[in-house]
Structure 1
Amino acid sequence: MGKLREVEILLNQTQKVRFERAMERLQSLSSTTNNSVIVADSIPFNHDEAFLKGHGTSLVDGELLTTVCGVVNHVDKLVYVRTLRARYKPEVGDIVLLRYSFVAQRQSRWRVDLNSTQDGLLKLSSMNMPDAVQKRNTSVDELNMRNILAEDDVVCAQVGESQRDGSLLARSNKYGKLHKGQLLKVDPYLVRRSNLHFHFIESLGIDLILVRNGFIWVGEHTQSNDPMVVDDEIISSKTRQSILRIGNAIRVLSTLGFTLTLAVIMETFDLSNMENVQIHDMLGSEFHVWSQRGKLKEEHVHSKKNVKALI
């Protein structure tokens, strides 16, 4: 990995921690590839051969320099840098969280925010309906689409086989509309690809959903087999406090650049409780530094907490 040019930058404590985490990630990339770079690194190339400058590169005084941190990639004549904070790219079979935006011009589908370079499309025919009856959709169903999903509603779905039209599926009972919780947004690279997405924190009665597109759901555990059925019972104050504390733990870890796993999230949650840190104070710089010095580990041995991971 190349050396950063001599530039003096003044950073506050939180920025220093984030910079250290980014450098650690680059070092880990260097162990598997010799193409990892930081800003202002020089990319060697043959001046006699034609090439195309791609994302993250700039030609300065005959030298090809990087403008972002990441990994250098070559595709034929194209040279570009894949950044650490690249936008999420849907892959077939991915479990994702969606935020409803509006009904598309073609009335049989919803346009949803996928936290990607483009919106996704959730067809009415691909949605698990409230009555759990799978039938041919009618014009009446299309007119009632806004009664099924309201603006900013959150839906758990799966990326379908046809990626060109951004098709999404929410037919299974484990997918569908989510209630009684909060949606958080983080950089997608902070969530590792895994076979475990749905976590039930039994001791708190909380559901935690970690998915690859950078949306995270923290909400009250639902026992209904039909995710479209709404339980009118009010969330207890204790459960609400747990949801907010876990949410702030995720925000702190995201700011520090930690890979988000169930174990690390719960360790941060427990640390705030153990030190009697108020929920709103968790977002202050003091707790950020405290969390870093607490040596939270990304690769954590199986948690001793009473937590069940659900596929």
Structure 2
Amino acid sequence: MISFTSFPPKLEDTDHASRHHPNVKGDLMDLDDFESQGSKLTCPGESLTSSHAYMRGHGTYVDNEEVIASVAGTIERVNKLVTVRAIRSRYNPEVGDLVVGRITEVQPRRWKVDANSRQDAVLMLSSVNLPGGVQRRKLESDELQMRGFFEEGDLLVAEVQAFFSDGAMSLHTRSLKYGKLRNGQLVMVPPILVRRLKSHFLTLPCGVDLILGLNGYIWVSKHVKENEQEGEEGFDAEAVYSNVNDDVDDSTRTAIARVTHIIHVLTSHFVPLTDALLLEAYEWTVEQETSVKDLLQQDFGDALVASVVSNH
């Protein structure tokens, strides 16, 4: 015998905010003030602003004339466009971006590169510096020696050049400041925490170089003096594509470890990384005269973040 059960009566929509997130208050945010306070985190279902005053962007939707967050992330506003950048997401590349990647596969006339994006990037043989000058024609002998330039596991810094029809990004390392990475350590952070800067190549006074990849891969390495010679005449293929690290003294190793720990502490507190902030954080740790291991302590990390964030 089949029996029917009636559904409970529909509750009256007395509180619009209660339909989204239990901890969300009914008052809307003042988007004119939150930017001065830094990046503001929001949760899915939180009411951001009125749909009459602002336009919704990625990571939001409109319900009952309100712009509501659909993902957990940081709120960004450009004029009247409100978007939410998800905390955990793949890197979304743009032409001209500086990225740090790892070679995953060597194919005919190209390399596949893991750049923390939705699919592997492509580095064409015609997009790298080769012995004899960047303008010369690529030969079959170059294709046979591709593993002499990059092989699986090699790290490199490159620039996003274009996109293929399937959405994969094409990289290039034609500039002498791009190419294979050595003498350092890779740090991986959420891409949302790497801000776009005038220059993503930083040099700290402790003799450490930083490359802030917009894809969330950061390279911390021993400081190398820039080659004063520019152009094809200053190109040394053996030095650029060498797999042998230089000698790194103990003080430099300690400085690299200190900078690496600082990055981990800042990202664990969801603090966006900039050149000024990293420099100030390093100077603060030096003033405290503490060892590198102390940076791993929770209390010390909280004090570092509190000191640095209060000045920005």
Q: Say if 2:123 is the partner of 1:122.
A: yes
User: Which residue of the partner structure matches residue 43 of structure 2?
Assistant: 38
- The answer to whether structure 1 residue 87 and structure 2 residue 90 are counterparts is yes
Q: 1:211 & 1:65 partners in 2: Cα distance?
A: 28
CA-based RMSD: 3.8
CA distance in 1, matches of 2:271, 2:42: 20
Q: Which residue of 1 aligns with 2:240?
A: 228
Q: Output the CA distance in 2 between the equivalents of 1:124 and 1:134.
A: 13
Alignment correspondent of 2:206: 204
Q: Structure 1 248/132 Cα, relative in aligned 2: closer, same or farther at 3 Å?
A: farther
Letter in 1 for 2:255: S
8 A contact 1:264–1:297 mirrored in 2: no
Match of 2:12 in 1: none
Give the corresponding residue for 1:218.
Answer: 220
The answer to whether the aligner puts 1:68 opposite 2:72 as a matched pair is yes
User: What is the deviation of 1:181?
Assistant: 0.9
**Sequence identity (%):** 34
Corresponding residue for residue 98 of structure 1:
101
Deviation track 1:222-263 (CA, whole Å, cap 9, x = no partner) reads 236347154764111111111111111111111111111122
Normalised by the length of structure 2, the TM-score is: 0.69
Alpha-carbon shift at residue 272 of structure 1 (Å): 2.5
Give the whole-Å Cα distance in 1 for the aligned partners of 2:97 and 2:308: 31
* Secondary structure of the structure 2 residue equivalent to 1:160: strand
Contact 1:259 1:298 in 2 (8 A): no
Structure with bigger gyration radius: 2
Structure 2 unpaired stretches of 5+: 1-16, 24-28, 52-57, 78-82, 228-234
Is structure 2 residue 127 aligned with structure 1 residue 151?
A: no
Q: Which residue of 2 aligns with 1:171?
A: 174
Superposition deviation, residue 267 in structure 1: 2.2
By relative contact order (CA 8 Å, sep 6+), the higher-ranking structure is 1
From the superposition, tell whether residues 67 and 178 of structure 1 become closer, same or farther in structure 2 (CA, over 3 Å). Answer: closer
Q: Which residue of 1 aligns with 2:137?
A: 136
Between 93-102 and 108-117, the greater mean CA deviation after superposition? 93-102
* Aligned counterpart, 1:262: 275
Match for residue 243 of structure 1 among 256, 273, 282: 256
Instruction: Please list every run of 5 or more consecutive structure 1 residues that lacks an aligned counterpart in the other structure.
Output: 8-22, 47-53, 74-79, 300-311
| Residues 297/130 of structure 1: CA separation in 2 closer, same or farther (3 Å cut) | farther
SS of structure 2 residue aligned to 1:157? strand
Question: Residues 160, 297 of structure 1: CA spacing in aligned structure 2 closer, same or farther, 3 A cutoff?
Answer: farther
The answer to whether the Cα contact below 8 Å between 1:268 and 1:296 also exists between their aligned partners in 2 is no
CA distance in 2, matches of 1:206, 1:40: 43
What's the secondary structure of 1:245's corresponding residue?
Answer: helix
Q: 2:60, 2:84 within 8 Å by CA — same for their partners in 1?
A: yes
What is the identity, as a one-letter code, of the residue corresponding to 2:104? S
Matched, 1:28 2:34: yes
Question: 2:74 touches 2:86 (CA, 8 Å); kept in 1?
Answer: yes
Partner SS, residue 100 of structure 2? strand
CA change 1:206–1:175 in 2 (3 A) is same
Distance 1:134 1:253, change over 3 A: same
Contact 1:121-1:166 at 8 Å conserved across structures: yes
Distance in 1 separating the partners of 2:122 and 2:192: 23
Matching residue's letter, 2:72? V
SS at match of 1:196: coil
Match of 1:112 in 2: 113
Query: TM-score, structure 1 length as denominator?
Result: 0.69
Residue 112 of structure 1 deviates from its aligned partner by 0.4
- Equivalent of residue 186 in structure 2, options 164, 183, 186: 183
Q: Distance in 1 between matches of 2:190 and 2:32?
A: 16
Deviation at 1:122, TM superposition (A): 0.4
